[in-house]
């Protein structure tokens, strides 16, 4: 099995290649822009969402973005699981292409998730993708969602450590950290915290009233 992780601009080099499966992750709103996808692909999965992480979703400039959702990650897992089943008894080599806009974040995360589905342990899957392109910054939101589905994979933490090491080596601060600081200093953060505390309070209130209701029949005796 061969795996290629590509940007949109690099797609033409794979167009006439022997690619059997394609995961295509273009930006929303680019539907009218033609994608030079491999012409002989047997199966295609195309999903449209933006490259935003959990922290970026809180920033005003990203509020209108379509973030990766659980159903997107589930679709990727289903796609690679079906590949694994289809190729389980095959002896010939096959190739998978995963692309997004830059080839660094959504596609990298999808490839890591896919390799995990194909039987690689989390760290090996991550290393395969990031050694092929050391500048990869796999989307942590996608990996966090994948962790919640796989359980005990710790893909998001591996991505956090990889990202921190890259920015430390480059000698400048991760811009997402500044977004996080700005958010925590904002009025919106205070409002969000109040909403969470209120929701937690009413959740406990409902739980305690439910417990009381369940005890009523025993008191009746």
98-156: per-residue pLDDT in tens?
Answer: 999 999 999 999 999 999 999 999 999 999 999 888 889 999 999 999 999 999 899 99
The owner of tokens 């080099």 is: 13
In the structure, what pLDDT confidence band is assigned to residue 18 with cuts at 50, 70 and 90?
confident
Percent of the chain at pLDDT above 70?
90
Q: Is the distance from CB of 15 to CB of 95 less than 8 angstroms?
A: no
User: What's the CA gap between 33 and 31, in Å, rounded?
Assistant: 6
* Residue 178 domain-assigned (yes or no): no
* Residue 64 domain-assigned (yes or no): yes
pLDDT of residue 168: 87
CATH code at position 36: 3.90.190.10
* Residue 179 domain-assigned (yes or no): no
Residues sharing a CB contact under 8 Å with residue 62, sequence separation 6 or more, in sequence order: 50, 52, 56
Structural domain range at position 121: 2-172
* Residue 59 domain-assigned (yes or no): yes
User: What's the CA gap between 125 and 147, in Å, rounded?
Assistant: 13
Regarding predicted confidence, which is higher, 6 or 57? 6
* Residue 40 domain-assigned (yes or no): yes
Residue 211 scores a pLDDT above 60 = no
The total number of structural domains in the chain stands at 1
Residue 221 scores a pLDDT above 60 = no
pLDDT of residue 100: 97
| Alpha carbon distances (Å) from 9 to 4, 12, 27, 109, 129 | 14, 7, 13, 19, 19
* Residue 210 domain-assigned (yes or no): no
Most confident region among 6-10, 38-42, 201-205 by mean pLDDT: 6-10
Q: Is the distance from CB of 58 to CB of 37 less than 8 angstroms?
A: no
pLDDT of residue 44: 96
b/e burial code for range 131-152 (CB count within 10 A of at least 16 → b): eebeebbbbbbbbbbbbeebee
Mean pLDDT score, 161-165: 90
Q: How many residues does the chain have?
A: 221
pLDDT of residue 91: 65
What is the number of other CB atoms lying within 10 angstroms of the CB of residue 70?
12
In the structure, what pLDDT confidence band is assigned to residue 10 with cuts at 50, 70 and 90?
very high
pLDDT of residue 156: 95
* Residue 203 domain-assigned (yes or no): no
pLDDT of residue 145: 97
pLDDT of residue 212: 46
Regarding predicted confidence, which is higher, 74 or 34? 74
pLDDT of residue 166: 86
* Residue 105 domain-assigned (yes or no): yes
Q: Is the distance from CB of 136 to CB of 130 less than 8 angstroms?
A: yes
């Amino acid at each position: 099995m061969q795996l290629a992780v590509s940007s949109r601009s690099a797609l033409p080099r794979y167009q006439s290649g022997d690619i059997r499966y394609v995961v295509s992750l273009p930006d929303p709103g680019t539907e009218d822009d033609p994608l030079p996808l491999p012409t002989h692909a047997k199966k295609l999965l195309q999903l449209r969402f933006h490259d935003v992480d959990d922290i970026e979703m809180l920033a005003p400039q990203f509020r209108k973005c379509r973030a990766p959702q659980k159903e997107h990650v589930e679709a990727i897992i289903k796609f690679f699981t079906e590949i694994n089943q289809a190729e389980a008894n095959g002896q010939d080599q096959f190739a998978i292409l995963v692309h997004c806009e830059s080839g660094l974040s959504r596609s990298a995360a999808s490839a890591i998730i896919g390799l995990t589905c194909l039987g690689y342990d989390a760290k090996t899957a991550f290393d395969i993708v990031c050694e092929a392109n050391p500048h990869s910054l796999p989307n942590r939101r996608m990996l966090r969602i994948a962790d919640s589905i796989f359980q005990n994979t710790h893909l998001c933490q591996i991505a956090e450590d990889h990202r921190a090491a890259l920015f430390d080596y480059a000698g400048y601060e991760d811009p997402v950290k500044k977004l996080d600081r700005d958010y925590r200093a904002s009025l919106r953060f205070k409002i969000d915290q109040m909403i969470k505390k209120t929701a937690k309070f009413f959740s406990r209130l409902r739980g305690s009233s439910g417990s009381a209701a369940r005890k009523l029949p025993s008191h009746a005796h």
